[in-house]
Amino acid sequence: MQLITNRLILREYAKNDKHNLYALFTEKFAFTYEAHLPKKISDMDVYLNFHLENAQTTNRTHYYYVIELQETHEFIGSIGYAFANEININGIDGWVMELEYYLLEKYWGMGYMPEALRKILSTAFEKNNILKIFAQCHKDNPKSEMVMIKCGMIKSTNQPEPKKYNGVVKENVRYEITADCFIPPHQ
């Protein structure tokens, strides 16, 4: 599946994305704060195979995309979401999803991530019976926090416990949005 915004193409992971994703995941900022991302090129095969195989299943649980510039098809980042748990809100059954996004540092501050995130939120709410989506970032990552705020997400009353990353305890902040509060982007 491919999603299009005004300036971006969001396309599902492919086997040949290995080196671009590795470069993204090993940039200083991602490497410092995201312990679950592959840190060695040899780990990328396992990571990619999981996502490629999951995309082929009937009970799909993960939706991850490469972010490319429309004009040049240049790789600039990754965004995706995974099923977290089932919930019932006001008598309606649905899913909660956890969202992740990463952008090469040279593209920060250009509005690409809010544009990609709005498209992902819209797609998740419209196509996957999602009732709530949440994302987390580190307390000392105000740019990521601002992306969530720009997309209508609000700070959750249920904040995560601090975690240890590379030997240092870091605090995360959690933002969320429900389907009934989301305003789809205009294209």
| Nearest residue to 124 via CA among 177, 74, 173, 59 | 177
User: Which residues does the chain have with pLDDT short of 70?
Assistant: 30-35, 165-166, 186-187
Residue-level pLDDT at 37: 82
What superfamily would CATH give domain 2-181? Gcn5-related N-acetyltransferase (GNAT) (3.40.630.30)
pLDDT of residue 28: 76
Please tell me the predicted confidence (pLDDT) of residue 54: 94
Helix (H) or strand (E) holding 46: helix 41-55
Count of CB atoms within 10 A of residue 121's CB? Answer: 25
Amino acid at 47: Y
For the chain, the farthest-separated pair of C-alpha atoms sits apart, in whole angstroms, at 46
pLDDT of residue 21: 95
Q: Where are the domains of the chain?
A: 2-181
- 8 A C-beta contact, residue 158 and residue 114: no
Q: Which of 51, 49, 150 is nearest to 109 (CA)?
A: 150
pTM: 0.90
Cα 32 to chain centroid, rounded = 17
The alpha carbon of 128 is separated from its chain's Cα centroid by a whole number of angstroms, namely 15
Cα–Cα dist 84/113, whole Å: 22
